[in-house]
Structure 1
Amino acid sequence: MTTPLLPFTFWALLTQLGTAALIVPVAALVAFGATRAGGARFAVRWFALLIAGAAVVLATKIAFMAWGFGSADLDFTGISGHSMLATAIVPVVCVALGGGGNGRRRVLLTVVGLLICALVAYSRIVLGAHSISEAVAGWTLGALVALAATLDSVPSGVQRFRALVLFASVALLLCAHSSLGLPSAHRWEAWLAARMIGKDCLFTRAALHSGATQCVPRHLAPASVLS
């Protein structure tokens, strides 16, 4: 865990922008608005790219947890899902709610979104959830998704749903930061990894750095088995 430049609570709140249960519904609202504005092709392309990106993230995590495929030198145990999701969605939402279209505005809004998500990726490092290599990999993959999704014009009509999207975003963000919280994908990833190898054990970051060749019983693994 690195020394934070801002209060811990700030990073804990910011990191929620990468929580699937928060950011995917926001993306769905924007995709719905795009479809209503005649941008069904854009919405389908974006979500297809999101699914592909999520599949890559899941594959790297399962490969490590189930079979120990990682890098001790890079401190890499799997791509950061929070970093990828935030970066694949937030820049596109910024462009869509900013009026879409072409030209300087789209470039500026995309850059703003990418910079916000760079902070989300950094929050994963501050919170000790991921290493630098994992956070950077997540940001890079997400940026590729976002840039590919916005190659063509984003429907300008989406901004009509701006108030709804912003309200939903704030509500979900507050929910994510409350004591209620939102569902975590970690336990499902761990369960899937254990099922795939037919044993109730997983590889952990500690095992990677210790050079261990045996997985750890799942009930003894940390809450985030990548820790």
Structure 2
Amino acid sequence: MAPAGLAIALWLAGGKTWRLALEWCLLFGVGMALVVVTKVLFIGWGIGSATLEFAGISGHAMRAGAILPVAFFVILKGARPGLRGLGVVAGVALALLISVSRVQVNAHSSSEAISGSLLGLLLAGIFLYRAGAMRELVLSRTLVALSLCGLLLTPNVEPVPTEQWLTELALHLSGRERPFERSDWKLAQRHPLFR
């Protein structure tokens, strides 16, 4: 999803809508920053909720919620309003399916996936509101086609070790020797001095 977020910025910049491209980058950056902060707080200090099983906002759900509706909107900007709206709805539906899949594969709890989806969809909604007010949004079809071809290659690219980087950052900032884990919640409940 992150390469798709970058592609959206490139599409907007290529269409000479610099302000909108900057707004997209800022919104997406805020979303990513919130994901990172919540994960670092949990890994380094155990800040989360054992009751809600919340150890940080799901980055996958947030990125899907932010990117997919926006990507469909931008690609279909010149289409009839009904088709563009249908594209946004399809983007929201796909984002929600990705969020559900994160829970199904036990990568995240429901609270983490829901918070990620809500944050991503909120950011997408803000962007769509801002972009909808713009009359001129011209996309370079060549740039869109090239970036879509590039996105097709991303499943074959080696994943970036972001979880490892987050863990290293959290341990460095907190001074802990090992990351806080969900199992530590149970230990802390049995032994309050563990904290």
Are 1:168 and 2:129 counterparts?
no
Using the TM superposition, give the Cα deviation of residue 94 of structure 1 relative to its aligned residue in structure 2, in angstroms. Answer: 1.1
Q: Partner residue of 1:64?
A: 42
Is 1:97 the counterpart of 2:79 in the alignment? Answer: no
Specify whether residues 135 and 115 from structure 1 end up closer, same or farther in structure 2 by C-alpha distance, changes over 3 A only: same
1:186 is aligned to: 163
Q: CA deviation at 1:101?
A: 7.1
Deviates more, 1:183-192 or 1:32-41: 32-41
Query: Which 10-residue stretch deviates more, 152-161 or 185-194?
Result: 152-161
Q: Distance in 2 between matches of 1:82 and 1:210?
A: 29
Tell me, what secondary structure is at the counterpart of 1:79? coil
Specify the alignment match of 2:185 in structure 1: 208
Amino acid corresponding to residue 172 of structure 1 in structure 2: T
Q: 2:112 aligns with which of 134, 140, 152?
A: 134
The answer to whether residue 51 in structure 2 is matched with residue 51 in structure 1 is: no
Q: Indicate yes or no: 2:131 matched with 1:149.
A: no
| Equivalence for 1:125 | 103
Amino acid at match of 1:48: L
Which segments of structure 1 move beyond 4 Å, counting only runs of 4 or more? 212-215
Structure-2-length-normalised TM-score: 0.87
Q: What is the deviation of 1:102?
A: 8.2
Conserved in 2, the CA contact under 8 Å of 1:96 and 1:156? no
**CA deviation after TM superposition for structure 1 residue 156, in Å:** 3.9
TM-score by length of 1: 0.75
Match of 1:14 in 2: none
**Structure 1 residue 199: Cα displacement:** 2.4
Alignment check: 8 A CA contact 2:11 2:144 kept: no
Letter in 2 for 1:196: L
CA offset digits 1:171-215 (Å, max 9, x no partner): 112x15xxxx31131101100100001222221011123436648
> Could you tell me how far 1:72 is from its partner in structure 2?
1.3
Task: Judging by fraction of residues, say which structure has more helix.
Answer: 2
CA–CA separation in structure 2 for the residues paired with 1:37 and 1:156 = 5
CA contact 1:122–1:135 (8 Å) conserved in 2: yes
Identity in percent: 31
Partner of 1:107: 85
How far off is 1:54 after superposition? 0.9
Give RMSD over aligned pairs: 2.1
- Counterparts of 1:190 and 1:198 in 2: how far apart (Å)? 12
